Amino acid sequence: MQLPTGVHVLVRRTHEDRVMRALQENGAMSRGEIARVVGLSRTTLSEITGSLLQRGAIVVVDTDASRRAGSGRPAERLALDPASAQFMGVDFGHRRVHVVIADASHEVMASDAVRYDGSASWATRTELALGLVDRLSAESGIHFGAIQGIGIGVPGPYPAPDGPAGSAGPRAASKAPVLRPAPEGVDVAFAERFHAPVIVDNNTRLAALAEAISGADSVADLVYVRLSDGVGGGLVVGGQLVTGSAGLAGELGHVTVEPAGRPCRCGKRGCLETVASVPGILAACWQFGLQLENLQDLAEAVAAAHPVADRVLREAAAALGRVIGAATMTLNPAKVVIGGEITRLAPVLVEQVAATLAAELFPVASAGPVVEAARLSDDDGAIGALAAVFHNSPLLAGYPESTDVKEATDAPDAPNSTTEGAAHVRP
């Protein structure tokens, strides 16, 4: 299916967005009232509402017959269709995809996950995700005529680094899983299915954005690290997600912390990941005689104040704190956030990171960032993807622009800040 493209689409989307927001803020309104509130001509508004009605984004709720004083034909009153989805967040993990659907108020309407095998192709993963959306739609009576934006989180660097051998060449077969090619086609599949702009980014980076804008105390400069099977990171600098020159920014897990340390899956030795990932921590516990199989075992050892667990966790956190110290000297963030389930099971991690970090910084208290555990859990990856498409995110406004968007901002009715102003926008 051919998608409409270019400036006109963006302008139309902006109009639609204004109409939807007016209805969201004011409840049911007549076309005349909407036209006044959003500052559009009756003709343009009529086109917009016609399209929105046809797609089921809004519904006719009644007429203003009972409320009007003047004569003439009663005007229809329009309102948002509460069953109409507005935003979608999709998080592709290594073994499951999580989908969150939100309404115009950014409230979650439906959410679920579906598992797949770690070897599943991207075509299969995409098909499973779209099937999940269909199921949620059927179960919850949600329809998608007015989707404003879709955020998709993927594991691994995004955009895929440009290798001399091509993105799907020898690298896919190398020992460096963090460098496997990004899932081309996922964005197109969602854009074509829902006729909405799609933002794709690394899911750890999207989590960083979600943490930066979460709550009332949003920050413009944030360093985010997630400890799980690996150690990933994401940066928000000056209010923008940082991708780097080749899509590799935020790879704090592969900073060397022990030059003669254990081999890392990336091909180096002694990366932070080898000591601060969950497998790295469990391996160190074994090395000191504490035989733990999994995160649950570790949680029990922590609860029992086992000295080996405490020591290993503190050493891992100290290494993490030194890496974050260098990142903090480099970027001077207002906040450092440590994510991953292990952070909740072992609070000593965040405590020790904060203590090590304090020693790594200038001896001036005011210069140090706040250090805290992530507010969103690992299962909230789709929330991070959702965060990237919420219009009213002041952070998104400055996210790298596509050429189309630059053109669009020259148009008279173009937005200052819309979902379309984001990276990797389709259409």
Which positions lie near a second copy, rule CB under 8 A?
161-164, 171, 174, 176, 178-179, 219-221, 233, 235, 237-238, 240, 242-252, 254-256, 266-268, 322-323, 325-327, 329-334, 359-360, 362-367, 369, 398, 400, 410, 416
Nearest to a second copy of 253, 381 (CB atom): 253
User: Smallest gap, in angstroms, from Cβ of residue 416 to a second copy?
Assistant: 8
Within a 10 A sphere around the Cβ of 50, how many other Cβ atoms?
10
User: Smallest gap, in angstroms, from Cβ of residue 185 to a second copy?
Assistant: 22
Nearest to a second copy of 166, 307 (CB atom): 166
**DSSP notation for 219-288:** -SSEEEEEESSSEEEEEEETTEE---TTS-TT-GGGSBS-TTS-B-TTS-BSBHHHHHSHHHHHHHHHHT
The values of phi and psi at residue 38, to 5°, are -95, -5
Q: Which residues contact 209 (CB under 8 A, 6 or more apart)?
A: 234, 236, 241, 384, 387, 388, 393, 395
Nearest to a second copy of 380, 404 (CB atom): 404
User: Smallest gap, in angstroms, from Cβ of residue 238 to a second copy?
Assistant: 6
Within a 10 A sphere around the Cβ of 237, how many other Cβ atoms?
16
- Both tokens assigned to 261: 């340390």
Q: Which residues contact 378 (CB under 8 A, 6 or more apart)?
A: 226, 228, 339, 340, 341
Nearest to a second copy of 80, 423 (CB atom): 423
User: Smallest gap, in angstroms, from Cβ of residue 72 to a second copy?
Assistant: 37
User: Smallest gap, in angstroms, from Cβ of residue 247 to a second copy?
Assistant: 7
Q: Which residue shows structure tokens 């208290």? A: 365
User: Smallest gap, in angstroms, from Cβ of residue 102 to a second copy?
Assistant: 28
Within a 10 A sphere around the Cβ of 394, how many other Cβ atoms?
11
User: Smallest gap, in angstroms, from Cβ of residue 334 to a second copy?
Assistant: 4
Nearest to a second copy of 34, 422 (CB atom): 422
Within a 10 A sphere around the Cβ of 159, how many other Cβ atoms?
18
Is the Cβ–Cβ distance between 403 and 420 less than 8 Å?
no
Nearest to a second copy of 97, 266 (CB atom): 266
Is the Cβ–Cβ distance between 122 and 106 less than 8 Å?
no
Is the alpha carbon torsion for 59, 84, 398, 3 positive or negative?
negative
Instruction: Tell me the sheet residues that pair with 162.
Output: none
Nearest to a second copy of 103, 404 (CB atom): 404
Is the Cβ–Cβ distance between 55 and 61 less than 8 Å?
no
Nearest to a second copy of 1, 364 (CB atom): 364
Instruction: Supply angle C-alpha 154, 401, 221, rounded to 5.
Output: 70
Nearest to a second copy of 123, 370 (CB atom): 370
DSSP label at residue 102: E
User: Smallest gap, in angstroms, from Cβ of residue 278 to a second copy?
Assistant: 20
User: Smallest gap, in angstroms, from Cβ of residue 122 to a second copy?
Assistant: 21
87, 90, 13: which is closest to 48 by C-alpha? 13
User: Smallest gap, in angstroms, from Cβ of residue 297 to a second copy?
Assistant: 31
Nearest to a second copy of 132, 336 (CB atom): 336
User: Smallest gap, in angstroms, from Cβ of residue 61 to a second copy?
Assistant: 35
Instruction: Supply angle C-alpha 361, 363, 367, rounded to 5.
Output: 60
Nearest to a second copy of 30, 174 (CB atom): 174
Strands 149-154, 87-92: pairing kind: parallel
